[in-house]
């Protein structure tokens, strides 16, 4: 069974600085998708960024980028120029591409605080 691990329960960053959130996963599959979701205090789950495992190029969305290391099964999220609105819980998630299932497997989350 696949698992997703986020080893940092909490992180803190100064406004305008850069922070990296860690995520590792375990799978025997070769093709899959990885996602980062943001959950602010409003409790919405907002998609931040996604990565296809077969693509070597790291995904980027404005100030958000990932460092995808397939061999190491690592998928970290980098937030550049942190803003107060980035404060939230961040979840890493895995989804198989096999077509047998469409379910997301989530990590336990990292609570990010942004200090002014």
Partner 1 sequence: DAGVIQSPRHEVTEMGQEVTLRCKPISGHNSLFWYRQTMMRGLELLIYFNNNVPIDDSGMPEDRFSAKMPNASFSTLKIQPSEPRDSAVYFCASSAPGQGIGQPQHFGDGTRLSIL
Phi, psi of 85 (to 5 degrees): -70, -5
- CB-wise, 14 or 103, nearer to partner 1? 103
| Shortest separation between residue 11's beta carbon and partner 1, angstroms | 17
Nearer to partner 1, 28 or 42 (CB): 42
Q: CB-wise, 102 or 116, nearer to partner 1?
A: 102
DSSP secondary structure of 9-74: SEEEEETTS-EEE--EEE-S-SSEEEEEEEE-TT---EEEEEEETT--SPPEETTEEEEEETTTTE
| Spatial CB neighbours of 105, under 8 Å, sequence gap ≥ 6 | 2, 3, 4, 93, 94, 95
Closer to partner 1 by Cβ: residue 55 or 63 = 55
CA distance 48 to 36: 5
Q: How far is the CB of 102 from partner 1 (least distance, A)?
A: 5
Nearest distance, CB of residue 111 and partner 1, angstroms: 12
Q: Given the rule CB under 8 A, which residues bind partner 1? A: 33, 35, 37, 42-47, 50, 52, 91, 95, 97, 99, 101-109
Q: C-beta of 17: minimal distance to partner 1 in Å?
A: 28
């Amino acid at each position: 069974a696949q698992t997703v691990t986020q080893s940092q329960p909490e992180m803190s960053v100064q406004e305008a600085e850069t922070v990296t959130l860690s995520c590792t996963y375990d799978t025997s599959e070769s093709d899959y998708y990885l996602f980062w979701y943001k959950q602010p205090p409003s409790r919405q789950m907002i998609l931040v960024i996604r990565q296809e495992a077969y693509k070597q190029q790291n995904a980027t969305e404005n100030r958000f980028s990932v460092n995808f290391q397939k061999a190491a099964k690592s998928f970290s999220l980098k937030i550049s120029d942190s803003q107060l609105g980035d404060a939230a819980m961040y979840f890493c998630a895995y989804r198989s591409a096999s077509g047998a299932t469409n379910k997301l497997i989530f990590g336990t989350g990292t609570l990010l605080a942004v200090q002014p």
